[in-house]
Structure 1
Amino acid sequence: HFEIVKFFVSQINDQSNRDTCCIKAADKAAIFDHFEIVKFLISCVSSLDQRANLRFQCAIAACSRLHENVVASLGLEPDWLFQYNTILSFTAAMAIEDRNSVLNKTLSQMQTAQITQLLRLSISQRHVALAATLLNHQRFSTQHVDLPDDNTGATALMLAADAGHHELIHKLIDLGASLHAQDTHGRTALSRACQAGYVQAAKILIDNGADASHRDSQGLTCAQLAERFEQRQVLRLLNPTENPQHPQPAAQRLHQLSDHSEQDHRLSEELHRLLSDAGFTHQRAKCQQRLADWLEGVAQVLTQDRRQMTGSYAEGWANSLVQVNGRTAADSDIDWTVLVEGQEFHLEGGCKGRSGSCQNATRLQVTEGHAQVAVGAGSQPAVTATACGVRPAQDTCHAIECCSSFCKNRVKQLLGYSDLVHLVRATRPSKTNELRVSFSFQEKHIMRDLSTVQGQLFTLTKFIFKRHLPLTLDTPGLKTYHAKTLLFFMLEKHGTDPKAEAWWIPLGIHGATKAEAWQPHNLITLLKESLDMMLSFIDSSSSPDECMPHFFMPDAPLYFKNAGIGGDFDNTKARVRDRLCELRSDIGGVVEQLRRLVRPLKSEKFYFHPFTLLPLTAPPAVTEIREGSGHYEFYYKFADVYSVVHQCVSELQSESSDRDTLMRQLSLLNHLQWCKCAALCMTAMAHLKFGESEEAKRLAMELQRHQVESGLEPQDIYEEGILLKSIRLPKVLDWAWRFCLPCDCPPRFPFLPEFTQTLFTARLSQPLSSHLYVNFRCLSWSLQAELLRNRAPAIAFDHWIEQLLGDPDLEELLTLAHYSDCREHVELSLQQMEMIEKERRVAMETQDEEKIGWVRQKLEGLDAASGVLKVESQSRGRKRKAESD
């Protein structure tokens, strides 16, 4: 409708109105890919500055939706690539499809050093296809291949090693990248690969001459770095063991297995009770799933991307192997899948050509579960934000949606329907230009429908594959995905209905047994059958790298961990097979380890602190707390509260903040009982900032009377039969008092008492996980102790202890130890801190160890003082006795 737009613009006589209309219309035209209209509307704006700004805004809008024609017509300034992730992501998405005309035009305007800088940025942002395109570009200068980052000293090779991008490492070495260059910490590319745990990257570097004995500025060798960061497989590479003897292949040993059905039934019942008491039940899995849905909904509002949660946290099973109480285990994570807006691929064997986007589209050939593409996008599907403080690790996978389902009949075996698949950045061993077909959304739905026994079987299998084999028996190689795939084959065999009857003949058991498969007394039998099935899969392929078939794509093999590396890793298959045989013949060792690991729940509560788990993207500024009744709108108020808290904490640190503006922002939280502690604390801080101490004391007294909720009851989260997936978080209980807020510098609150300032914990050591941790319950205690000093009533330490014992953190325990001189209180704080450290509930940093050290010193000081007093008391007693004599 180009002519209509021209006509309407010509009818606006007032230039100011014309500018306003053209600016709004151009943005809409960019969103809907009308590049001619965009160019025309920009030309109609009177001011050169406004035109330049509008061109940039339209470029952002078009890049966010991958509208190549609009972007090409506008062009991209070189600086934009460095300043705006949306624009860099556009060039990366185009590079995967080998459509680089816009990029080439921009590169023609750049200096060679700038192109190297762009290469480093691309690698650090995990844009492998873009980085590969830059390395192959005619304007890339090999003379600048080792140009380091000004701040960190990192070269492109080091950044590729950080992320395990072995494809880029090969290319950079071919182009002459130095293996011996050092960053500001004296670390080489090999040092960094060993620290990060990327075995294949480390092997390539070593094979090309990297020095494993190099010491960094702390004097640490590559092996010592790997040991410090618990990278066991890197240590295996650096210190290969002699090949073990394998007495018998698994297939030859299966006939030796015997059946102990009565004993298995008793053990099954015991295991079922053990796992049920720890929360591994269908009902608690449903609660966990609702918590994940809530987190997903709020994250979608904040990030404004097509983000979905996948993996164990969302599925509700075995995110922790200790107990199901809302906490994520230290060796687990939260997985996000983000579908790239505006990009769609078409698969041969899947695409039916039914939609408009399918017409004339290239259909990608799928080989062993991997779509063949023009340019490789790397073999690391996710970007990992490592665990930091109370935040668990979070993996974000940027995926490309397909127009269709794939292997529809296999999916329907378990799900009843088939949905769209997507492609992720992963390859087979030694392959490059391909993307893996992913069924993670379908898998999530299947896992969410598991019965208690089905979920417990998965938990047992995951425990064996992820913990027992690699840690207890030093036999790594299997992954959680192998356990999930094995469960799918078991569900196919015995049906998904937990009440269904099934025939099966477990190997080694004579005769057929008719039984209800998914019943508690069959748990051990099901586990043995699963292990038999796994051994059968392992023996079905002669390749040392192949483990088992993919459930949905039977022609696609799943591989062992670190497949394709060779050397000692070629023995992985034989080691795993022998260990599984031993386990199959004697389950007792597994059960004993489980008894030590799994702990019964002391409380039914879920310790869910959602505002510590959200993605660390800067939240948008808001001026109101929105309410909505629709499914998506339900999450508005929670996202808005997070934004307001972030704004207020930032304003409290600003030297130029305005009192009225800050108080107006804080007033948005006044009517919300579920975050009252946070609102009262920040308001008291605002009064202290502006010298209004009496008002701050009044609020401290109100905080004395206020109590927060340490956890959520199951009935607050999930009710059987309610179809809505949004949880019914209580409105009258204060549950929102722990926050992790985006942050890139240490906090400044000079108006607060010195100790209170230390309770704002800045965690800045991990770039993708940097945040400010604020526990408002703990902050409330400190404000009360400082502002109401020497006032009645005295500090209620017993009340503090009663609140924190269920779910303490280091800051709360430090606060108790700081303000109380009671030995029992300080000792309790130290014991709880050491337990948190031992159980890895916090990803410890130096500052955390210093907190524990301070409490330990205080306890020693109290003991020493007590000893002196005891000696003095004894001395006085002897003196009195002598005088009386």
Structure 2
Amino acid sequence: MDQTPSIDEAVTTGIMATVKARFQHLQSEQSKTMFCATNCRLAAQHGQLEVVKLLVEAMPNQSVRNQCCMNAALSAASEGHLEVVKYFYLRLKMDTRIETEDFRFRCTLAACSRLRENVVSEFGLEPDWLFQFSPILSFTAAMAIEGRNSVLTDTLSRMQPAQVTQLLRVAISQRHVALAVTLINDERFSSEHVDQSDSTEATALMLAADAGHHELVEKLLDLGASVRAEDSQGRTALSRACEAGHVRAAKALMDRGADASHRDGRGLTCAQLAERLEQREVLRLLDPSRLICSETQQAAATPNSVLLRPTDSSQRDRQLSEELHQLLSEAGFTKERANFQQTLAHWLKGVAEVLTQDDRQMTGSYAEGWANSLAQVNGRTAADSDIDWTVLVAGQEFHLEGGCNRSRSSCRDATKLIVKEGHAQVAVGAGSQPAVTARACGVRPAQDTCHAIWCCSSFCDDMIRKILKYFRDVHLVRATRPNSTNELRVSFGFQEKEIMADLGTVQGQLFTMIKFIFKRHLPHTLGTPGLKTYHAKTLLFFMLEKNGTDPSAEAWQPQNLIARLVESLDMMLNFISSRSSPDECMPHFFMPDAPIYFKNAGIGGDFDNTKARVRNRLNEMRSDIGGVVEQLKRLVRPLQSESFYFHPFTLLPLTAPPAATKIREGTSYPDMHFKFADVYSVVHQCVSELQLESSNRDTLTRQLSLLNEQQWCKCAALCLTAMAHLKFGESEEAEKLAMELQKARVKCGLSPEEVDTLCSLDSDWAWRFCFPCDSPPRFPFLPEFTQTLLTARLSQPLSSHLYVNFRCLSWSLQAELLQAFQPIAFDAWLEELQEDPDLEELLTLARYSDCREHVELSLRLMETIKDERRVAMETQDEEKIRWVKEKLENIDL
């Protein structure tokens, strides 16, 4: 048997004889050049310096050699092979044609992207790089968590105090709390500049309040930061904290003299700002009497007693269980539809990973398939829900005492972090806000992005084993216990996702009911906040431990749904009563020694009454389950259609997509993720190119040609091509495309079968898009009304985007370009509006039709969308509805 190693093995392990022998067998200069270039990068990536030297010296082509050295150096830098990088640097330095500063920057950037401190230390950081390149800023932030600040200290020594304050503002705005704390504690930070502001007149204190980082708020206040300073909109730090809903930050500011009665540039007080955005907990802080009625206050003082349910309730409960099970099933709360929802989330996650080029996972209810909406399971996200992303920091790994077993090479000399009550102790804390929230905006639901750090192992395996068959490594997130700092929370988010994905129908329905009680019924109907979705999920895990995970077991049959709900409430009451602290609610399932706290625990004041109020409300509920069920019945609605309404290109993270020069082929799942990402990138490129004053016709033509063969985005391709013709003054060509658009039909929803076959679906389902955008769009070559359909939503900085609905854009182009030739096909429009209309489509119908019935339909459906909160309404949306109302009134005149 041939024992000769492969060339890849020889290159990566440094078997010089094999590499030399393979090279000597090559005859042509081209084959030698290709051999050296390919394997030099591979050798550099694996730190094989001698192999690198051999291949570089053997490379016959000088110009190719320099480019090869640069590419290989970047690979070595990203893997932390410093000696290899230094070899390339010295070699390229000898060639006067090579710009060594560019080499230094590119290698440093590559090293920062993978947290290779040794390479970064060798080359150092220029102060300007911290402001210009996010991977470099993120590198210093990651190092700050571990207290490894030598590179940062060196860079700060070359900065002026005003620059350090500017860097502090950037760090806070990017949510790098550990870096911000490090800068504040640095001797070069001057309190004289603490109120220095940015272009919007926002100070560091305002930015910290806006992000909810109460730790930074307190540190900045200690340094003399002004609570009276105002930004360009007349908002103080307290105004911004209240508007964003950050209770702890708001309290810290109020404790230090911030004026809650201050009015911003619009004349709004802090309470009015909070009220406009339904920040109930902030209102509770500002004035507890506004939200807590006297009856609830009296209930808080009621002795801790459990109300007993009638002993003859068993038969009634079984009957009610069957009714409730049927109601929830008809609304889509079934194992089957949860699986379809999980598939959609998998698609979205895969495309997002390609576009953002990071290690990104989706967690939370959207990915788990259960209770992303408490009304129906149809692909839509409820207004009070969100999509949760977890982004793992590349190149960073922590090791936990009690978890790390030194099984990996990276574990050998690593320091193990002590874990206290579920929180790993670190050198510098990263804050208590685990996620950055991009608020709901237009058709986009809110999105939370949590940056996390891998651990080398799983943790608390005994508890995981009880309800999950296999282990995964845990990770750490930026969260602390109340009133604690310098720690990161151990997260089991990926394990929880797998548990939720395996739930049976009744198990999932139980979770839906518990979530309804904790997240909707208690805080909104009964005015008793304090519990969150994570409390509901943890309670479900304890129920699975008690009753088993097998969905076919007797405990999980439909007739026992109410019994399980009562059992859950009893369990929750026992958890609450067994803990003495007013802040602690229940034990963590995976880490029993770690408490899970009530929402806004540790703030004091009225929030100390949360525990008593919640306990008494749960007692009342337990004795009147029928009342809870009646409330749920008012919310849950049977499905009108089996379809899932899934528009992935409106849900992707709002980062500028990488340029695409081709649309990759293939029908497997990974291949299709690349294909969908390429189409999104190309459409974005076309929309951007069309807005340029001097658009490049060849570039546009090339980009549009990439879309033409994709049947599933045909409407988008035709609209963009017609827009291009209009831009270049070719109205006749645009008219021809408008006639073709008349025949096109887009797909409104996906059937359950189509969800599983999305990769092979030829129907036109990709016609709604959201693209990152920070300024109003410019399409002056389009008809005036058509321009308004390209909607820029800029009211939420982290959610700002351009919304493009190609269906209504198609209708408007047809109406404008073909009005002289043929009547508008309103019947076809009405047919398509039967499912999943949006405000822009309904406005388009009302704009072009003078039929009273059509305008009435538009107004009715627009108000339904508003009432059901399918769109996060802005002033421009209210104006659209008002315009339709006015048109309807004028029709009657």
Q: Structure 1: how far apart are the matches of 2:733 and 2:309?
A: 79
Residue 55 of structure 1 aligns with an amino acid whose one-letter code is R
1:348 aligns with 2:401: yes
2:272 matched residue in structure 1: 224
Residues 643-693 of structure 1: CA distance to partner in whole angstroms, max 9, x if unpaired? 000001111111222212211110111111100000000011111111111
**Between 261-270 and 437-446, the greater mean CA deviation after superposition:** 261-270
| Counterpart pick for 1:129 among 159, 178, 192 | 178
The correspondence for 1:817, drawn from 837, 842, 846, is 846
* Structure 2 portions without partners, runs of 5+: 1-47
TM-score by length of 1: 0.93
How far has the Cα of 1:634 moved from its partner? 3.0
Give the drift of 1:746: 1.0
- The Cα of 1:247 is off from its aligned counterpart by 7.5
Q: How far apart in 2 are the matches of 1:4 and 1:346?
A: 33
748 and 803 in structure 1: CA distance in 2 versus 1, 3 angstrom threshold: same
Instruction: Verify: 1:370 aligned to 2:423, yes or no.
Output: yes
Matches within 5 A, 1:297-696: 297-500=350-553, 516-628=554-666, 631-696=669-734
Partners of 2:687 and 2:288 in 1: CA distance: 51
The SS at the match of 1:252 is coil
Instruction: State the alpha-carbon separation in 2 of the partners of residues 386 and 461 from structure 1.
Output: 25
Give, in angstroms, the shift of residue 346 of structure 1: 0.4
Shift of 1:16: 3.1
State yes or no: 1:175 paired with 2:223.
yes
CA contact (8 A) 1:251 1:536 kept: no
2:737 and 2:877 map into 1 onto residues whose CA distance is 30
Secondary structure (helix, strand or coil) at the match of 2:489 reads strand
Equivalent position to 1:163, from 211, 219, 223: 211
Cα distance in structure 1, aligned partners of 2:69 and 2:759: 45
Query: Deviations for 1:295-317, whole angstroms, at most 9, x for unmatched residues?
Result: 00001111111100000000000
The equivalent of 2:91 in structure 1 is 44
Q: For residue 766 of structure 1, what is the amino acid of its counterpart? A: Q
Offset of residue 229 of structure 1 = 1.2
1:773 alignment counterpart: 803
Cα distance in structure 2, aligned partners of 1:661 and 1:147: 44
Bigger CA drift: 82-91 or 590-599?
590-599
Q: Secondary structure at the match of 1:541?
A: coil
Change (3 A) 1:780 1:629: closer
Q: CA deviation at 1:790?
A: 2.8
Instruction: Report SS of the residue matched to 1:253.
Output: coil
**Aligned residue in 2 for 1:85:** 134
Among residues 734, 753, 761, which one is paired with 1:731 in the alignment? 761
- Render the CA deviation track for 1:588-620: whole Å, top value 9, x for unaligned: 221121121111111100000000001111111
Structure 2 CA distance for aligned equivalents of residues 53 and 23 of structure 1: 10
Letter in structure 1 aligned against 2:526: L
The CA distance in 2 between the partners of 1:37 and 1:247, in whole Å, is 68
Encode CA deviations 1:818-847: one digit per residue, 9 max, x unaligned.
Answer: 000001101110111111111111111111
Tell me the residue number matched to 2:884: 855
**For 2:336 and 2:54, how far apart are their aligned partners in 1?**
62
Aligned residue for 1:878? none
| Residues 730-770 of structure 1 deviation map (CA, whole Å, 9 limit, x = unaligned) | 43200000000111211111111111011000111212111
Per the alignment, do residues 221 and 483 of structure 1 end up closer, same or farther by CA in structure 2, a change over 3 Å counting? Answer: same
CA contact (8 A) 1:250 1:577 kept: no
Q: Is the 8 A contact 1:531 1:584 kept in 2?
A: yes
For residue 384 of structure 1, give the secondary structure of its aligned residue in structure 2: strand
Report deviation, 1:496: 0.7
In structure 2, what is the Cα distance between the partners aligned to 1:573 and 1:47?
72
> SS in structure 1 opposite 2:306?
helix
Written as runs of structure 1 = structure 2, the 5 A alignment for 1:739-778 is: 739-778=769-808
1:801 Cα offset (Å): 1.4
Among 109, 114, 119, the residue aligned to 1:65: 114
Q: Distance in 2 between matches of 1:440 and 1:331?
A: 20
Q: 1:707 to 1:38 in 2, by over 3 A?
A: same
Greater shift in the superposed pair: 590-599 or 696-705: 590-599
TM-score (normalised: structure 2): 0.92
CA separation of 1:494 and 1:645: change in aligned 2, threshold 3 A: same
Aligned to 1:883: none
Shift of 1:385: 0.8
| Distance 1:523-1:108 versus aligned 2 partners, 3 A rule | same
Is the partner of 2:298 in helix, strand or coil?
coil
What is the rounded CA distance, in whole Å, between the counterparts of 1:352 and 1:707 in structure 2?
58
Residue deviations 1:373-425, cap 9 Å, x none?
11111000001111111000100100000000000010011111111000000
Structure 2 CA distance for aligned equivalents of residues 837 and 102 of structure 1? 52
TM-superposed deviation, 1:542:
1.0
Deviation readout 1:521-576 (Å, 9 max, x if unpaired): 11111111100110010000111000000111111110000000001100000000
Matched residue type, 1:812? E
1:846 paired residue number: 875
Question: Residues 656, 34 of structure 1: CA spacing in aligned structure 2 closer, same or farther, 3 A cutoff?
Answer: same
Stretch moving more, 46-55 or 22-31 = 46-55
Aligned equivalent of 1:104, options 148, 153, 156: 153
Deviation (angstroms), 1:4: 4.8
Distance 1:519 1:271 in 2: 12
Counterpart selection for 2:193 from 139, 144, 155 = 144
Check the 8 A contact 1:258/1:585 in 2, yes or no: no
Structure 2 letter corresponding to 1:321:
L
SS at match of 1:214: coil
Q: Does 1:34 align with 2:63?
A: no
**What is the CA–CA distance in structure 1 between the aligned matches of 2:300 and 2:96, rounded to whole Å?**
82
Q: Is contact 1:43–1:51 with CA below 8 Å preserved after alignment? A: no
Distance between the aligned counterparts of 2:689 and 2:312, measured in 1?
69
Larger displacement relative to structure 2 (591-600 or 119-128): 591-600
The answer on whether the counterparts of 1:292 and 1:314 sit within 8 Å (CA) in structure 2 is yes
What is the CA–CA distance in structure 1 between the aligned matches of 2:544 and 2:329, rounded to whole Å? 21
Cα distance in 2, alignment partners of residues 771 and 392 from structure 1 = 12
Residues 829, 365 of structure 1: CA spacing in aligned structure 2 closer, same or farther, 3 A cutoff?
same
**Counterpart amino acid of residue 111 in structure 1:** Q
Shift of 1:255: 4.2
The alpha-carbon deviation at position 15 of structure 1 amounts to 5.0
The CA deviation at 1:728 is: 3.3
Kept in 2, the 8 Å contact 1:351–1:403? The answer is yes
- Give how far 1:262 is off: 1.4
Is residue 278 of structure 1 aligned with residue 331 of structure 2? Answer: yes
Alignment check: 8 A CA contact 2:669 2:759 kept: no
Question: Given that residues 239 and 273 in structure 2 are in contact (C-alpha distance below 8 angstroms), is that contact kept between their aligned partners in structure 1?
Answer: yes
CA–CA separation in structure 2 for the residues paired with 1:412 and 1:459: 24
- 8 A Cα contact 2:308 2:623, kept in partner: no
- Identify if the C-alpha distance between structure 1 residues 706 and 13 changes in structure 2 by more than 3 Å, giving closer, same or farther: closer
Cα distance in structure 1, aligned partners of 2:892 and 2:759: 45
Kept in 2, the 8 Å contact 1:628–1:636? The answer is no
Distance 1:256 1:732, change over 3 A: closer
- Partners in 2 of 1:541 and 1:12 — Cα distance? 71
Which deviates more, 245-254 or 795-804?
A: 245-254
Q: Distance in 1 between matches of 2:67 and 2:113?
A: 23
1-structure distance, mates of 2:419, 2:683: 48
